[in-house]
Amino acid sequence: MTKKILPGHGSGGKLMNDMISGMIKEILGRDSIQIDDSAVLEIEGGKIAFTTDSYTVTPIFFPGGDIGKLAVNGTVNDLAVMGAKPEYLSCALILEEGFGFDEFERILISMKESADSADIKIVTGDTKVVPNGKGDRIYINTSGIGVFRNPLQRKPIETGDKIILSGTAGDHGITIMSLRNNLNFSSALKSDCAPLNKMIDSVTEKFPGSIKFMRDATRGGVASVMNEITAGMNFSAKLIEEEIPVADEVKGICGILGLDPLYVANEGKIVIIADSASAEGITAELKKSEYGKNAAIIGQIDSVYPGKVYVETFIGGKRLLPLLVEEQLPRIC
Amino acid sequence: MTKKILPGHGSGGKLMNDMISGMIKEILGRDSIQIDDSAVLEIEGGKIAFTTDSYTVTPIFFPGGDIGKLAVNGTVNDLAVMGAKPEYLSCALILEEGFGFDEFERILISMKESADSADIKIVTGDTKVVPNGKGDRIYINTSGIGVFRNPLQRKPIETGDKIILSGTAGDHGITIMSLRNNLNFSSALKSDCAPLNKMIDSVTEKFPGSIKFMRDATRGGVASVMNEITAGMNFSAKLIEEEIPVADEVKGICGILGLDPLYVANEGKIVIIADSASAEGITAELKKSEYGKNAAIIGQIDSVYPGKVYVETFIGGKRLLPLLVEEQLPRIC
């Protein structure tokens, strides 16, 4: 019989200690769980970035990743888009009673591999167990600390600035949604979940004064990020439909489900707003990364509909992209 | 009808944005949720402490506190026992669909009051919503960053060192357990949930070289902390039963339920191991704080049962206190 999580695994007794030292520590690394309650870290003085996210995605395994990979990369990317170098990660687990040790182990291994690949250290952790029916197998919180090396200069956004997307829109959300609806026809469809810090480093280093805004387009997709930028401003964001990279599989499933890929979550895509002169160069630099090979300039800042986001369609029409009342897909991350 | 959490409150759309800016930000403070995904913090160079904990306590309101107060103080204390000054806190919420806004608001207010009282800033956050039956109203993760001012010197623990407990044992765990079992006869029984950082500051400042170990005795209680210290060591920890402060209400309920208060969780108590010469002074200093008024020297380090913890009972007998296989009380924090 497969070993399963018991209430005692979260109780502070021997059962928990054995799981932590025997498995979690073994996989995540000796520094991941301290004898003490806190990790002690050496930090250069100055500005640091600090972020937190809980991950409740369902299903927990999906093409292109799993909840563990997502939890590491999501927090890595949140730090990286600030212009910070991700350094340290915490890992807090809420396990549901009855969750299988084999799946738990796969997720821990995935977290460790993701952390190594993003060059971030998991330095502290916590484990709680909730009864059956009070959780959903596993929820993961990661908080991260990053150190600023090339902070964004954030000059004001102006008419004429270009909007760059680092790759195809909607891959993560549509992968999850198609799994839930048994629509996964194509093996090419998979989550874009990826650590973007190295790609971001290379563009911020080469174009220090040109990047005015950068954000990973997760929950709510590209349209929601653009709405946050334009809200209350005297400029608008124009997206050009034919320039927006969308994978054929994503287009197909969006058609079936009636979804707009611009509102669908990504887990490995960033939106950049940059001055017009550098936009081509930034896009070319992004394309050098495996995670940016489909990067494109997808629009520009103008003053046609101040405070709004709109898309110019293939046939030349204009359609507003408001902030949706709620996301189309729940529990996407 | 009371407003309740809907799936859309965690979806990255307008419903979520409105809740965050209209309520969470309003209560926790303008800095608690950034426009950006990360908080940018100014840190002096050197060592920092970094810790994380998820809180899943049930019930979420209890005499002496609630899950919000617990989530702030628990992380504050984890930093403080390292000798770090708690500076910054993150707040990640997992809300269950259907959870009432009125209770949610009470918890946010409690978090804000606790943070103010501990002098720590909530600087970044995250909100996720899970469907009914996949959570339990609210789970909170807090991660914290502390800066070292008076780091513990941690000289080796030796025979003759004294064991100090900062107050009565078992208040938090017994409060929760008596609530669950309708055993709350006495209005005097309440959780000891408290921010201990100021009390800890004052003892670490006055006795810089004398404190060899300090830990808050949460899950697993005093006995589990002592077991972590002695495991694999060539010394043992002797606790003297008649010296251990336990509230009458806690004694009574422990008797009814067959629990040992030394294994019951505390949320406002620390265990200190200090050299013999300073132990009285440290205890006197603890007593100056409202959270340390019942502090006592409860035992000492000896070499009678190397690697073990034992208690000398009222009648002079000796009883080993092993690390329990699992805690007596699940979901205590």
Domains, chain A, in order of start with CATH, read 7-148 (3.30.1330.10), 162-320 (3.90.650.10)
Among A38, A44, A331, beta carbon nearest to B79:
A38
State how far residue B251 is from chain A, nearest Cα, in angstroms: 22
- pLDDT exceeds cutoff 60 at B35: no
Among A15, A125, A134, beta carbon nearest to B135:
A134
C-alpha span between B271 and B300 (Å, rounded): 12
Query: In B, which residues are within 8 Å of A6 by CB distance?
Result: 326
State how far residue B6 is from chain A, nearest Cα, in angstroms: 10
The DSSP-derived string for B121-166 is: EEEEEEEEEE-TTSS-SEEEEEEEEEEESS----PPP-TT-EEEE-
Tokens of A155: 């000059």
The predicted structure's pLDDT at residue B65: 97
Query: In A, which residues are within 8 Å of B124 by CB distance?
Result: 50-52
Give the residue from chain A lying closest to B18, CA to CA: A325
Q: Which residue ranges in chain A fall short of pLDDT 70?
A: 1, 32-37, 150, 184-185, 327-328
C-alpha span between A75 and A82 (Å, rounded): 11
| A323, amino acid identity | L
- In contact, A213 and A85? CB cutoff 8 Å: no
Residues B96-134: b if buried by 16+ CB within 10 A, e if exposed: bbebeeebbebbbebbbebbebbebbbbbbbbbbbeeeb
0.90 surpassed by complex ipTM: yes
Tokens of A274: 């940059």
pLDDT tens readout for residues B204-257: 999 989 999 999 999 899 999 999 999 999 999 999 999 999 999 999 999 988
Helix (H) or strand (E) holding B66: strand B65-66
Give the pairing of strands A236-240 and A309-312. Answer: parallel
The counts of H helices and E strands in chain B are 9, 14
- In contact, B55 and B139? CB cutoff 8 Å: yes
> For all residues of chain B together, what is the average pLDDT?
92
- pLDDT exceeds cutoff 70 at B36: no
Q: Which of B15-19, B130-134, B164-168 has the lowest mean pLDDT?
A: B15-19
State how far residue B38 is from chain A, nearest Cα, in angstroms: 4
Give the pairing of strands B84-96 and A309-312. Answer: unpaired
Give the residue from chain B lying closest to A139, CA to CA: B94
State how far residue A191 is from chain B, nearest Cα, in angstroms: 18
The predicted structure's pLDDT at residue A266: 97
State how far residue A90 is from chain B, nearest Cα, in angstroms: 6
Residues A236, A239, A240, A243, Cα dihedral to 10°: 150
The predicted structure's pLDDT at residue B13: 78
How far is the CA of A331 from the CAs of A73, A110, B128, in angstroms? Answer: 17, 20, 8
Residue ranges of alpha helices (H) inside chain B are 14-19, 25-28, 67-80, 101-118, 171-180, 197-206, 221-230, 248-257, 276-287
Q: Do B6 and A326 touch (CB under 8 A)?
A: yes
Beta-carbon pairs below 8 A across chains A and B: 250
Q: Do B7 and A330 touch (CB under 8 A)?
A: yes
Task: State the best of B326, B331, B333 to mutate against chain A, taking most chain A CBs within 10 Å.
Answer: B326
The predicted structure's pLDDT at residue B187: 75
Residue A300, φ and ψ in degrees, nearest 5: -155, 165
- pLDDT exceeds cutoff 80 at B149: no
> What whole-number percentage of chain B has pLDDT above 70?
96
Token pair 């299903």 is found at: A59
Q: Do B11 and A124 touch (CB under 8 A)?
A: no
Geometric angle at alpha carbon B126, from A152 and A19, rounded to 5°: 110
A59 cis-preceded (ω within 30 degrees of 0): yes
C-alpha span between B304 and A117 (Å, rounded): 49
The DSSP-derived string for A230-269 is: HTT-S-EEEEEGGGS---HHHHHHHHHHT--GGGS--SS-
- In contact, A128 and A20? CB cutoff 8 Å: no
Closest residue by Cα to residue A18 from A5, A9, A6, A27: A9
What residues have CB less than 8 Å from A13, skipping those under 6 apart? B220, B224, B323, B324, B325, B326, B327
| B178, amino acid identity | S
Give the pairing of strands B121-130 and B84-96. Answer: parallel
State how far residue B41 is from chain A, nearest Cα, in angstroms: 5
Give the pairing of strands B211-216 and B309-312. Answer: unpaired
Q: Do A49 and B41 touch (CB under 8 A)?
A: yes
Token pair 């608001």 is found at: B105
Task: State the best of B15, B31, B52, B271 to mutate against chain A, taking most chain A CBs within 10 Å.
Answer: B52
What residues have CB less than 8 Å from B89, skipping those under 6 apart? B72, B75, B76, B115, B120, B121, B122, B123, B142, B143, B144, B145
pLDDT tens readout for residues B98-116: 999 999 999 999 999 999 9
Q: Do B326 and A6 touch (CB under 8 A)?
A: yes
The predicted structure's pLDDT at residue A218: 94
C-alpha span between B202 and B286 (Å, rounded): 8
C-alpha span between B269 and A80 (Å, rounded): 39
Give the residue from chain A lying closest to B55, CA to CA: A128
The predicted structure's pLDDT at residue A35: 54
| B232, amino acid identity | G
Q: Do B45 and A44 touch (CB under 8 A)?
A: yes
Task: State the best of A40, A42, A50 to mutate against chain B, taking most chain B CBs within 10 Å.
Answer: A50
- In contact, A52 and B125? CB cutoff 8 Å: yes
The predicted structure's pLDDT at residue A116: 96
Region of A105 on the Ramachandran plot (φ > 0 left; ψ -120 to 50 alpha; else beta): alpha
Q: Do A38 and B50 touch (CB under 8 A)?
A: yes
C-alpha span between B172 and B179 (Å, rounded): 11
A63 cis-preceded (ω within 30 degrees of 0): no
State how far residue B297 is from chain A, nearest Cα, in angstroms: 22
Residue of A290 and B9 predicted with greater confidence:
A290
